[in-house]
Structure 1
Amino acid sequence: MATAPIQGGPTAPPATIPPPSLTFSDTITDITPFIPIVLDLNSHNYYHWRHLFEMHLGRCSLLHHISGDHPPAPHDPRRIKHDLAIIQWLYTRISTELFNLVVTDGASARDIWAELRRLFQDNRDARVSALNTELRTITQGDRPVGVFCQRIKAIGDELRELGEVVADRSLLHALMGGLDDRFAQQATLIPLLRPLPTLAEARSMLQMEEQNQARKAAAPRLYHATTRPATAAAATPPERIDAVD
């Protein structure tokens, strides 16, 4: 005999729809804190800009959108959304001149990435020649030591990006040869050290000397007052006494 269902018994909970999963492309709209560099044709900053961008995309698990490791899926809505987010990030971290050169309707993130790479690595031989000339002739001028070292390192990084082999010794010699006369002593002594210091170590030595020079220049100068001995009063000539006849 079938039993009737118990009235008022426990009922199954209603089915819940899981919330949509969010990704970095959904939550990050401003990537300036992660990529503070704006890519520009005249700033020689492609190497560092590319490094930061690849690091950011790797952190977001989106590096395959520009690397070509996975075939494109033009009908995957999720991939399309991620690709559009990357394009937006790219457009916000390049100069207006570069934007006008690479913007194209229907281009993917990989297309724009490849075009940027081509713009900075085109005419490789001419760029290598110009960078080597700058490295040989660069001088500090009125730049602080840190800024001067950064420029030398940036030249080396860009040459390596173009496939050139640049030894740290070459960068160190460029630094020593371009220093201001205020660092003449350090420019003579640092190349004699063994083992030869790296560019970073030489920069630390020079910045310490720069700080010492700035501290001495800012210190008040003490002038010691010297007392001059009082001059003896001019002796009055003796009164002339005429002889009495």
Structure 2
Amino acid sequence: MSSSGPSDPFNSSRSGSSNPFAGPSVVVIRDVPVFERVPIKLSHTAANFFAWKMYFGLLFREYDLLDHVDGTTDLLAMPHDPDWSTIDATIIRWFFQTVSTDIFHTVVRDGDTARDVWKNITGLFTDNKIQCITFLQQEFFGLHQNDLSLDAFCLRLKILSDELRDLEFPFTDALLLSTLAAGLGEDLSHAASNLTLLTTPTFEQAVAYLRNEERLQQHLRARAVHTALAAGLSRGAPAHSPSAPPPDPP
């Protein structure tokens, strides 16, 4: 099932293959540890469609399975092949095992090919593009660090930005960085202005800088607590006085 074409995992071409069914071993495909290759459960509420699709794109390329989902193979014009059907069924099982229960019940339908199931699942997240973008925008621009750790806050921002980019929303790194700076908690708000001093920083560089600032703040707080504790102990120690002689026995 080798394919030649653009690097986009969903726009491959099989024109260079003389045998459209010559491909990976059925046994190999059956034994693929799908939960290791796609360690995500796709859900409407988790904003993880981009990551789920990316993991599957890598899996399709790794095992030469793109033509099962990209629409380049006309199954009606080809003779029935048991290996192809078996592999197609395995891919469908992968899809069902890596989506939430509600998505499974929405798309499951007897007789569908892997291509059909792939289109149905991805369509849930791309067909209503305007509504999806509106929902993601509201969460993205309204996100603040609050009680989140810096890493959790930055990760959530990055996930939301990836989802928006995947929906072809005109998203820029500058917008991501400005939203990051605006949502930082009070402890790191002073560091937000310093981000502008970096020369065209990437998101990764900005996060690395903020992590260093967070560690510095933690160190300063720990030192202040230690200093205050030491000063308190010093003030509370009893004054030193000469030892008094023991009282005379009665």
TM-score range, shorter chain: 0.7 to 0.9
The alignment partner of 1:221 has SS state of helix
Q: Which runs of 5+ in 2 are unaligned?
A: 1-24, 241-250
- Of 32, 40, 45, the residue aligned with 1:42 is 45
Letter aligned with residue 160 of structure 1? R
Q: 1:74 to 1:211 in 2, by over 3 A?
A: farther
1:149, distance to aligned residue in structure 2 (A): 1.1
TM-score where L is the length of structure 2: 0.77
- Of 140, 146, 152, the residue aligned with 2:145 is 140
Q: Is the 8 A contact 2:26 2:87 kept in 1?
A: no
Task: For 1:155 and 1:52, locate their aligned partners in 2 and report how far apart those are by CA, in whole Å.
Answer: 17
Q: 1:171 to 1:213 in 2, by over 3 A?
A: same
Task: For 1:55 and 1:107, locate their aligned partners in 2 and report how far apart those are by CA, in whole Å.
Answer: 23
Q: Considering only CA atoms, is the larger Rg found in Structure 1 or Structure 2?
A: 1
2:64 is aligned to 61
2:21 is aligned to none
Q: Percent identity?
A: 31
1:33 has 2:36 as partner: yes
1:159 is aligned to 164
1:182 has 2:187 as partner: yes
1:79 has 2:45 as partner: no
Where has structure 1 moved over 6 Å in runs of 4 or more? 227-230
Letter aligned with residue 47 of structure 1? F
| Richer in helix (by share) | 2
Task: For 2:178 and 2:48, locate their aligned partners in 1 and report how far apart those are by CA, in whole Å.
Answer: 22
Q: Is the 8 A contact 1:74 1:80 kept in 2?
A: no
2:97 is aligned to 92
Matched residues, number? 209
Task: For 1:55 and 1:178, locate their aligned partners in 2 and report how far apart those are by CA, in whole Å.
Answer: 33
Task: For 1:74 and 1:52, locate their aligned partners in 2 and report how far apart those are by CA, in whole Å.
Answer: 31
Task: For 1:150 and 1:177, locate their aligned partners in 2 and report how far apart those are by CA, in whole Å.
Answer: 15
TM-score where L is the length of structure 1: 0.78
1:176, distance to aligned residue in structure 2 (A): 0.2
